[in-house]
A and B are shown apart, each in its own frame.
Chain A
Amino acid sequence: MAEIAALPRPGPAGPIDSPDALLAYERSLDCVHCGLCLPKCPTYLLTGREPSSPRGRIYLMRSWAEGRIAASERLSAELDFCLVCRACETVCPAGVRFGEMMEHARDEIGRARPDRAAGGFPRRFLLHFLLPSRSRMRRALALLRLYSFPPLRALLRPLLPKELRRREALLPRVPARLARLPELTPAQVGRRGRVAILRGCVTESLLPETTRATAAVLARNGWEVVAPEEPPCCGALHAHFGEIERAQALAKATIAAYEASGAETMVVDSAGCGSVMKEYGALLARDPAWKGRAVYFASRVRDVCEFLVERGFEPPARELRARVAYADACHLLHAQRVSSPPREVLRSIPGLTLVPLPETELCCGAAGIYTITNPETSRALLDRKVEILRKVRPDYLANGNPGCLLHYAAGLRGEGLPTNAVHPVELLAKAYEAPGR
């Protein structure tokens, strides 16, 4: 039998000339191969396969950067299978920066294999066509709203092929009227300063209640709120899916809009957007003209609950009797390490009971456009959540990320469960308004 000897590891075959590959390579060296991240990774939990674990993916990225494997179909499929939920970062004692590594590796491999792009046409349509333009987004959502009209949907749905019908079940329902937020909401009590909020590419139309609640809660606590019309999108999904150049362009537009707004803090009610904005410094690190501005901007970004707790907020005086389960959004818990502020906000509401929810650190499968790119896995993770919620049966499921809220809502709707998926600030806003509703 062949003997296995202890061998040094060959480094890269030659110089790594692409900055993306080099960055992924350097990050991959932080991993000591201890395996502690395995059981926290949703794709490993579902499959038990090492290549679908964080350690396995890092090994693949490292081996690819070293030239041991090519940018093959199998490699890009495995990278696309990752939810970039970053649960692996929260448990990694070596401080591996997995998200950053993955974004850059995807970008580089995407360029080497233009044919790959999991999610195909729907993904490109969304990332390249809809998200970068607010007017196109609005028109698309108007169409979707039309489709959400029950009689029409009942008529059209049976005509869809089976494959599409399953995806259709996860389509968000668009609320009846578009609530346009004014560009400026004045502070309700003694003005403490001005903050900017994000209209968001989808939140404003799909979850108008959330954006409105965010503005209302801030105003109620003495903040003047600006909501700039542009840019249409912060580039979070683009960065996430390794479309770095597009993400960079949107990041610059977001920074410029913030600078022009005269706000002291950028307050974000979308965990996914907040996490990318807090990392603009890294995203624009190679652009000397923007680096400094990006780093400063990133330091001014706060999740809305984080902001409320940090700067102090008025606990509601009136009761809101409800059982609420808080589900961590990956991009809040793992990417931003924000876990107690949303809970503090909820606990401040008299009459509200915060019920424990198992597996709250596990991804729900929404993960940006993962519902489009990997519908099966997305569904499997959602089913797992719904199963737990069926047992816990809270009145509200609170979560700080629009994508997750829509995903949970689809799952709850499908099962006919009485639970409503809401952002924590919506409950706070409700408590401020109570009674009378």
Chain B
Amino acid sequence: MTASPLVRDLLRMLEPDGVLCEPEDLLVYECDGLALFRATPEAVVLPRSTEQVAGVVRFCAARGVPIVARGAGTGLSGGATPAPGGIVLELARMNRILDVDAEDRTAHVETGLVNADLSAAVRSKGLFYAPDPSSQFASTIGGNVAENSGGPHGFKYGQTVRHVLGLTVVLNDGSVARIGGPNAENPGYDLVGVFVGSEGTFGIATEAWLRLTPIPPFVETLLFSFRSLLDGCRAVSEMVAAGVEAAALEMLDDRTIAAIEASVYAAGYPKEVGAVLLVELDGTREEVEAQAREARSIAKRCGALATSEAVEEAERARLWKGRKSAFGAMGRIAPDLYVQDAVVPRSRIAEVLAKIGAIADRHRLRLANVFHAGDGNLHPNLSYDARDADEVRRVLQAGEEMLRACVEAGGSLSGEHGIGLEKRDFMGLLFTEADLEAMGRVRRAFDPQGVFNPGKVLPLRACRERVPAPAEEPVAP
């Protein structure tokens, strides 16, 4: 195959196996975890160092070649879908742990590192990295930073942004800047807070200083089963109101349970119940035991059918692996899966769930619910077949209606999966033109030419990519 001029130039900056350009190679990069959106890149580059990333960015930016960063491609909003005519910058090879400071409880890593590998590496020092997206065994620190990922334990420990102290980022002229740093206190603007959650549109993060958390001395996972999601939701509300300080509060409905129990991650969840609630408590033994008593009595009052608890590490791991494989396990039901990600105030979960159920019924779609009950982050899952054009249309329609229902209830567009391509055009549901324009200005400050992940996050009008006069840009549908 004859290499295009772009590829020939890229090859000068990287080793021969660091650039992919054969059609078969490009094909597999056409989508991320949300396979509904697809586009073929011109080339894929796999750098090994910040210098190589900087070289590639400088080169591409000068020629207006769009750059889409990619970690593990587990994103669920089309964030890593390539830009046509652009390159994919794959960071998987930059996965070293550069330094761990057990005393200061920080780690300095390259951003292609897989989330769970960090916790595994610092475990012997009594530490862990708290953000635990369900994809943590595959997703990268860079992807987590870009999406500000959460996870079941985000309820207590907070999302990624609370655990990032500093970043090395490659800016759109190829310059390398450090924002924040290894220390907890950094004077000046909080650019880390700005960068985290920017979904690959501000620059490429190549290194990160992360906060590590001591492994709690005692952990207990309680499992309650309920006749219905409604009963479970009531228990969650009462637990939070009563001050039960759970590390995680996760709910799974009957269909999700059935899918998990049929998979290699069968966790021994009770079958033939309407819902299962996982409550994790951590702290000192006394604290945990007191909270567990409280949680049990509330659950009982709310109609819990059965309770079981796990203290042993292996047993708890099994309960969590089940929960964390829910998405994949649903793959048994139909070829494709659409996961909606939206937030509602905790007090209105039950009401919104009822609406979501009605929407799925109306569109004749199979719905399963699994969600972070503690922070009202819902994940309605719709099974479908991407080859069925009508079903695809119904899924997208239902997804939109579900989002609207959440926003109407005072909620938000996304809890953790990001806006990406999928929700870009719904930003108007939550923000005014002025709000969006403010975001667009920040984006243009980082990337005036729009080379980083163009077409994502902001409706085209607000980000004014390569278009000087906003008034002339048509509003995207």
Contact = CB atoms under 8 A, between A and B. Distances in A.
Interface stretch (B22-30, B209-217, B269-277): B22-30
Contacts of A10: 387
Nearest to B25: A51
Contact of B27 (A30, A44, A55, A60): A60
B23 to A, nearest CB: 7
Interface string A20-37: 000000000111111111
B400 to A, nearest CB: 11
B67 interface: no
Nearest to B386: A9
Contacts of B74: 34-36
A206 B387 CA distance: 51
A39 B38 CA distance: 23
Contacts of B392: 6-8
B37 interface: yes
B329 A74 contact: no
Interface residues on A, range: 35 or more
A164 interface: no
Contact of B90 (A31, A37, A50, A68): A50
Contact of B28 (A6, A8, A29, A51): A51
Nearest to A37: B138
A78 interface: yes
B268 interface: no
A316 to B, nearest CB: 28
A384 interface: no
Contact of B112 (A8, A29, A34, A48): A48
A231 B172 CA distance: 65
B454 A1 contact: yes
Contacts of B264: 90-93, 95
A362 interface: no
Contact of B325 (A3, A7, A36): A36
A14 B382 CA distance: 28
B336 interface: yes
B343 interface: no
Given A32-B337, A74-B22, A95-B264, A48 B328 contact: no
Contacts of B329: 93-94
A49 interface: yes
Nearest to B88: A50
Contacts of B389: 8
A376 B84 CA distance: 35
A18 interface: no
Which has the most chain B C-beta neighbours within 10 Å: A33, A44, A72? A33
Given A48-B46, A60-B28, A93-B263, A4 B328 contact: no
A94 B31 CA distance: 19
Contacts of A44: 92
Interface in B1-35: 17, 20, 22-25, 27-29, 31-33, 35
B331 A34 contact: yes
A10 B385 CA distance: 11
Contacts of A8: 386-389, 392
B396 interface: yes
Q: Name the 7 nearest CB pairs between A and B, nearest first.
A: A93-B328, A94-B331, A48-B92, A32-B331, A93-B325, A9-B386, A35-B74
14 contacts: A4-B38, A4-B455, A6-B37, A30-B335, A34-B74, A37-B138, A44-B92, A49-B46, A51-B25, A69-B23, A91-B137, A93-B263, A94-B332, A95-B331
Interface of B: 17, 20, 22-25, 27-29, 31-33, 35-39, 44, 46, 66, 72-74, 78, 81, 83-85, 90, 92-93, 95, 112, 114, 117, 135, 137-139, 260, 262-265, 325-332, 335-337, 386-389, 392, 396, 421-422, 454-455, 465-466, 476
